[in-house]
């Protein structure tokens, strides 16, 4: 009771990375809260799924197994989540800020009248004092997120409603095995108890899932371009540099909005978070919402004709110059020196 639960997404029998990242974070938070870590998996053919989850320190795995529950649709998953939560009253619920979590989370929060904070970049436990009401709270979930185009960071709390719900984007938290030998238990839910036939009004008539083309999250080197690249053609140069160095191309929100690059390469609060060995920021000014997604890179090189671009303050190397001059030189001297 009053535990921390993670709604786990599953595709082709594999638990999504974002869910494992949330379990990793969830384990740390559960230890601070002195409560158990629970996972909820809704889908079909779930036998053995707990083996993927226990190593992350999961104490209880709830499964709702029914052929109609995969692929995801909103109403039956909402019904199961809400029905279960009414019974086990978790204090915290975490979901991925994916097209599933962002569809399900608000529906659940509305049903249960609980607060939900979207796209958190950090989660902490701490006290809260409501001076107006003269009340103090211990061990609340601090839901920390950039807001307002990334220009500010807000800490949100849900003092009175449970569960305290938050979504987090893929790649924001680190995925880490807690204990290979960790053992929890499985609780199989009686699907018919929660779901009615009328919940299946949405019918999926076609579904085409692709493997992601770009793997910028796992790339050791990321060459990222911003609005300063000037055009879609300007990005060709970045693909050349990335190919030579063995890296991937990323982009700022401004560059994606301008159509220079596809959305799946967007880095930042509304895109992917990356932690490569080397991050080369080309023509990126460094909006906070972008920096939030790359500041943990080991080495950062900024190439910008504005010597005072905000990103320069967190860069290890600042090259002041035009990207179209500097990038060909990087390629040229890499080729010369790597032989």
Partner 1 sequence: MSLKIVVLAKQVPDTRNVGKDAMKEDGTINRAALPAIFNPEDLNALEQALRLKEQHPGSTVTLLTMGPPRAAEIIREGMFRGADGGIVLTDRAFAGADTLATSYALSCAVRKIAQYDIIIGGRQAIDGDTAQVGPQIAEKLGLPQVTYAEEILSIVDGKATIKRRLERGVETVTCPIPLVVTVNGSADECRPRNARLIQKYKYAKSPSEKAECECTRLYDERDYLNIAEWSVNDVDADLNQVGMAGSPTKVKTVENVVFQAKESKRLDGTDAEIDELIQELIANHTIG
In the region spanning residues 136 to 175, those forming contacts with partner 1, defined by CB under 8 A, are 142-143, 146-149, 151-161
**Does 102 sit near partner 1 (CB under 8 A)?**
yes
Q: Which helix (H) or strand (E) holds 255?
A: helix 253-257
The least CB distance from residue 120 to partner 1, in Å, is 11
Instruction: Write b or e for each residue in 52-70: b if 16 or more Cβ atoms lie within 10 A of its Cβ, otherwise e.
Output: bbbbbbbbbbbbbbbeebb
Q: How far apart are CA 216 and CA 231, in angstroms?
A: 21
Site string for partner 1, 290-319 (x = CB under 8 A): -xx--x--xxxxxx---x----xxxxxxxx
CB neighbour class for 81 (10 Å; exposed up to 12, middle 13-18, buried from 19)? buried
Chain residues 168-207 in contact with partner 1, contact rule CB under 8 A? 201-207
Q: Which is nearer to partner 1, 96 or 184 (CB)?
A: 96
The least CB distance from residue 180 to partner 1, in Å, is 29
**Does 288 sit near partner 1 (CB under 8 A)?**
yes
Q: Which is nearer to partner 1, 176 or 324 (CB)?
A: 324
Site string for partner 1, 111-130 (x = CB under 8 A): x-xxxxxxx--------x-x
Chain residues 253-282 in contact with partner 1, contact rule CB under 8 A? 263-264, 269-270, 277-278
Q: Which is nearer to partner 1, 231 or 313 (CB)?
A: 313
The least CB distance from residue 143 to partner 1, in Å, is 8
- Residue 251: CB atoms within 10 Å: 31
Site string for partner 1, 16-55 (x = CB under 8 A): ----------------------------------------
Of 213, 221, 333, 336, nearest to 282 (Cα)? 221
Q: How far apart are CA 69 and CA 5, in angstroms?
A: 19
Using CA atoms, how far residue 33 sits from 28, 162, 182, 204, 287, in Å, is: 9, 15, 19, 40, 34
The least CB distance from residue 304 to partner 1, in Å, is 10
Q: Which is nearer to partner 1, 88 or 288 (CB)?
A: 288
**Does 210 sit near partner 1 (CB under 8 A)?**
yes
Query: Tokens in use for 193?
Result: 């108890």
Q: Which is nearer to partner 1, 27 or 290 (CB)?
A: 290
Phi/psi of residue 227, each to 5°? -60, -30
Q: Which is nearer to partner 1, 63 or 114 (CB)?
A: 114
Of 17, 33, 218, 3, nearest to 123 (Cα)? 33
For 34: left if phi > 0, alpha if psi spans -120 to 50, otherwise beta; the answer is left
Q: How far apart are CA 49 and CA 41, in angstroms?
A: 8
Is omega for the bond preceding 163 within 30 degrees of 0, making it cis?
Answer: yes
Q: Which is nearer to partner 1, 44 or 295 (CB)?
A: 295
**Does 329 sit near partner 1 (CB under 8 A)?**
yes
């Amino acid at each position: 009771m009053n535990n921390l639960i993670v709604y786990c997404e599953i595709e082709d029998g594999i638990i999504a990375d974002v869910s494992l990242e949330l379990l990793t974070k969830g384990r740390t938070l559960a230890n601070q809260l002195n409560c158990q870590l629970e996972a909820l998996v809704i889908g079909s053919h779930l036998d053995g799924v707990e083996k993927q989850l226990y190593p992350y320190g999961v104490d209880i795995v709830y499964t709702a197994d029914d052929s109609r529950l995969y692929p995801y649709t909103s109403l039956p998953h909402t019904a199961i989540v809400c029905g279960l939560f009414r019974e086990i009253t978790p204090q915290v619920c975490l979901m991925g800020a994916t097209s599933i979590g962002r569809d399900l989370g608000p529906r659940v929060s509305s049903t249960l009248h609980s607060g939900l904070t979207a796209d958190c970049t950090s989660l902490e436990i701490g006290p809260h004092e409501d001076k107006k009401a003269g009340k103090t709270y211990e061990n609340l979930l601090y839901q920390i997120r950039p807001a307002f185009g990334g220009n500010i960071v807000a800490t949100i709390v849900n003092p009175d409603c449970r569960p305290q719900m938050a979504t987090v984007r893929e790649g924001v938290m680190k995925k880490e095995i807690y204990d290979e030998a960790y053992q929890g238990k499985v609780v199989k839910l009686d699907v018919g108890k929660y779901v009615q036939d009328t919940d299946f009004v949405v019918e999926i008539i076609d579904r085409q899932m692709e493997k992601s083309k770009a793997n910028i999250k796992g790339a050791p080197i990321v060459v990222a371009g911003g609005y300063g690249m000037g055009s879609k053609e300007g990005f060709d140069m970045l693909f050349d540099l990335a190919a030579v160095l063995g890296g991937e191309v990323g982009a700022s929100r401004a560059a994606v909005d301008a159509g220079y690059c596809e959305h799946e390469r967007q880095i930042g609060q509304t895109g992917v978070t990356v932690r490569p060995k080397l991050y080369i920021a080309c023509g990126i000014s460094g909006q906070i919402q972008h920096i939030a997604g790359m500041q943990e890179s080991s080495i950062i090189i900024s190439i910008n004709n504005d010597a005072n671009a905000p990103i320069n303050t967190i860069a290890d190397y600042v090259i002041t110059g035009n990207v179209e001059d500097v990038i060909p030189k990087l390629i040229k001297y890499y080729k010369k020196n790597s032989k």
